[in-house]
Chains A and B, each alone.
Chain A
Amino acid sequence: MTGDGSNSNVSAPPSILVDHVSRWFGSVVSVADISFEVQPGITGLLGPNSAGKTTLLRMICGLAGVSEGTVRLLDQPVRNNPSIYKRVGVMSEHEAVYGFMNGRDFVKFEAKLRGVPDPKAATDEAISYVGLEHAADRPMGTYSRGMRQRMRLAATIVHKPEVLLLDEPLNGTDPRQRIQFQALLRELAAEGKTILISSHILEEIEQLADTVLLIVAGKLAASGDYRAIRAKLNEQPYHIKIISDKPRDLASLIVGMEAMDAVNVDSDGGLIVLTRDLLRLQRELPKLAQAGNIRLLRVEPLDDSLESVFGYLVG
């Protein structure tokens, strides 16, 4: 996967090709001139809410048209090319299901529509893959959010697609389900599938994807190896606000610590600490407070949101 072509396999066409794609709704630009390629493995599509991830994914899977540019899946056009869906599985962000259908019927329904030769066997296999055999004969309207997501994943993979496009698939799952889900996706990637998964949660993608595409305000802010991007993020100091009963005493103690870039006192008496070594601050701050007999009232990161983290990359 690359945004600039540096990591692409030039001999094989990419599984997903997005070439100068834009999409606007009236005067609002949702996606602006984005280009990248995706190869087999797990690629994370990361960005804050309303960054344009869903619009981009919908254009990639053909649910929405592009205003400008080209999208190709497995070297074929995607829009108005239904035969591509024999090789592609899509899980949209909506959690809607046919509530009156039971899980097994729903997965079998999708298997039959995709022309799977033995829909019953494929259905049983897909349901066992997501570990929902016990609930497969219950109407989907009675499922929890996480169960619906897993059954929708079963329907998405029932025809063993080469490319999987998953829009925020971990929404609504509890931590245990999330771990199961991630393990499933890793297994599929190990089988050589191409998986493009979107999320607005940095940690979610960090645990899954080696390569990421970072979308901010409809533009591709960064792309490539996750660790390289993370390192780039770590070059920026974190902003931490600390409220205490003795801000000036605490400031003098923090200034003496290593790897602190700056300490400022803001207008309401809080300390704004800039540091590249967040762990050290986390470790040392309680000890400093105890030593100085200072009461810590609140410690909060000012730039923990994805928007501000991405701001470093684009700004």
Chain B
Amino acid sequence: MSRWTIHLRVFSATWSADMSLIYTLTLRQLAGKWRIIIIVVLAILPIMLSISSRFGDVRPIPSEIDDVLVNGMFASAILPIIVLALATAALGNEVEDKTLSFLVLNPLARWRIVLPKLLAAITIGGLVVVVSGVVSALVAFEGDTEAAIAIGIALFAGVAAYSSLFLWLGLMTSRGLAIGLLYVFLWEGLFSNFVSGIRMVSIREYIIGVTSAIDDGRFAGPNQDPVASATAIIGVIAVTIVFLLLSVRRLQRMDVP
């Protein structure tokens, strides 16, 4: 029996029909018309930028594309904003709408509610961001599939980490969206650029680190210094798991409206 078969069996044993119900419900909740329009528009922006840079008069060098497209657009803005809009809503809207009791007043361990919620946010966010990232990379790097795969995987890792963080934020406060934006622009965008220690605890830096780990041609410019591959990979996994556990704990202890 292969390792993948074992993993698949463990996953099927853990994943139950009730979790599928909550996953499907959440996909439906998150696929509201306006939310989808906004995130699709955001996802189209980097593709437009790639097309204009590819066919413009002055061709940027790869390190500039790394900085502007991957770091500047995706990791610093588009990815976190798209994920923020989805993940804070996944549980936060149930709290706001007072429908969370329809889930918690059932014989379900709390993690069986939180995990499908998280996976639903990752599914939609991942799909939009990864497709946008891969298409943008293929255009900007002139069909370089290694770059496109590296960027796709790194962005997916970033979606997972940010989703877990913002899912928890949506449970902690009704102002998740505002606090999340402050976090993205102040912590990830500003402080992590200037304070070197913060880079070790920055999801944006992990995304760059994972990109560079998969494709060593990325972020290899003289002024680019991504965090170590191991730090980036461990960081993404740690953030995803820690905030997933914090969300479960929060749901166990909070007063559900």
The answer to whether B106 and A63 touch across the interface, beta carbons within 8 angstroms, is no
Q: Which of A94, A110, A112, A115 lies in contact with B98, CB distance below 8 A?
A: A94
Cα distance, A54 to B42, chains bound together (Å): 43
Q: Is there a chain B Cβ closer than 8 Å to A100's Cβ?
A: yes
Within 8 Å of chain A (Cβ to Cβ): is B253? yes
A63, A83, A90, A96: the one contacting B107 at CB < 8 Å is: A83
Chain A 49-68 per-residue mask, 1 if CB under 8 angstroms from chain B, else 0: 00000000010011111000
B193 at the interface (CB under 8 A from A): no
Chain A min CB distance to B42 (Å): 24
Contact residues in A for B104 (Cβ distance below 8 Å): 63, 82
Assembly CA distance A113 to B99 (angstroms): 15
Residues of A51-104 at the interface with B, using a CB-CB cut-off of 8 Å, are 58, 61-65, 80, 82-86, 88, 90, 92, 94, 96-98, 100
Asked whether, in the complex, the Cβ of A112 is within 8 Å of the Cβ of B21, the reply is yes
Do residues A85 and B105 form an inter-chain contact, with CB atoms below 8 A?
A: yes
A-B contacts, CB under 8 A, total: 63
Does the CB pair A96–B252 fall under 8 Å?
no
Interfacial chain A residues near B106, Cβ < 8 Å: 82, 85, 110, 113-114
B112 to A: closest C-beta gap in Å: 9
Inside 8 A of B256's CB, which chain A residues have their CB? 63-64
**Which 7 A/B pairs are nearest by Cβ-Cβ distance?**
A113-B106, A94-B98, A64-B255, A96-B98, A63-B256, A86-B107, A85-B107
Within 8 A of B (CB), among A175-213: none
How many chain B residues have a CB neighbour from A under 8 Å? Answer: 25
A residues bordering B, Cβ < 8 Å?
58, 61-65, 80, 82-86, 88, 90, 92, 94, 96-98, 100, 109-110, 112-115, 155
Q: Are A82 and B98 in contact (CB under 8 A)?
A: no
CB distance from A133 to the nearest CB of B (A): 22
Q: Does B237 contact A (CB under 8 A)?
A: no
What are 29 A-B pairs with beta-carbon distances under 8 A? A61-B105, A62-B105, A63-B104, A63-B105, A63-B257, A65-B255, A80-B252, A82-B104, A82-B106, A82-B110, A85-B105, A85-B107, A90-B105, A94-B257, A96-B97, A96-B99, A98-B29, A98-B99, A109-B21, A109-B25, A109-B102, A110-B102, A112-B18, A113-B21, A113-B22, A113-B103, A113-B107, A114-B107, A115-B18
